[in-house]
């Protein structure tokens, strides 16, 4: 059986750092465990790192733990290069880099909490879904 391929938006990674009780944390904890393939690009890595290492008093984990999590995200990612740009297509240029990556890698979905930011991506054969919806689709939660 083929596992789905996804891109994880930065807001999901941040949400996972804020609480170990939600769908975001569950999704991140499943990376590398054959439930799905996770794709990444260098620009998205830089965005993750910037957001995770920014001084944010709401993130209740140490800098060392953030480094370990970031290393794990990078280690298990299917690293892709983007050779084309459609910018601007979406309102936020950071969302464009997520869309371009998802399209290049032939992903099933972009997992995000900002569904409205990814309207009209169906024409690329993609869907934007929340972590909880994705986890239900792959049968990890009910």
Domain boundaries, the chain: 5-137
16-30, 79-93, 111-125: lowest mean pLDDT where? 79-93
- Long-range pairs of 108-112 with CB within 8 A, sequence gap ≥ 24: 108/4, 108/5, 108/6, 109/4, 109/6, 109/7, 109/134, 110/6, 110/7, 110/9, 111/6, 111/7, 111/8, 111/9, 111/12, 111/27, 112/8, 112/9, 112/11, 112/12
65-69, 72-76, 103-107, 130-134: lowest mean pLDDT where? 65-69
For the question of whether the overall pTM of this predicted structure is more than 0.85, the answer is: yes
The CATH fold assigned to 5-137 is Rossmann fold (3.40.50)
């Amino acid at each position: 059986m083929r596992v789905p391929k996804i891109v994880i938006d930065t807001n999901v990674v941040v949400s996972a750092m804020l609480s170990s009780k939600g769908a975001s944390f569950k999704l991140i904890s499943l990376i590398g465990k054959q439930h799905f393939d996770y794709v990444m690009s260098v620009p998205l890595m830089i965005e993750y790192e910037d957001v995770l290492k920014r001084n944010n008093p709401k993130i209740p984990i140490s800098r060392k733990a953030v480094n370990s999590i970031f290393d794990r995200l990078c280690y298990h990612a299917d690293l892709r290069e983007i050779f084309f740009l459609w910018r601007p297509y979406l309102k936020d240029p950071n969302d464009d880099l997520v869309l371009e990556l998802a399209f290049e890698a032939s992903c099933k979905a972009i997992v995000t909490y900002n569904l409205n930011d990814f309207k009209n991506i169906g024409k690329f054969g993609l869907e934007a879904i929340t972590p909880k919806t994705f986890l239900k689709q792959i049968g990890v939660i009910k």
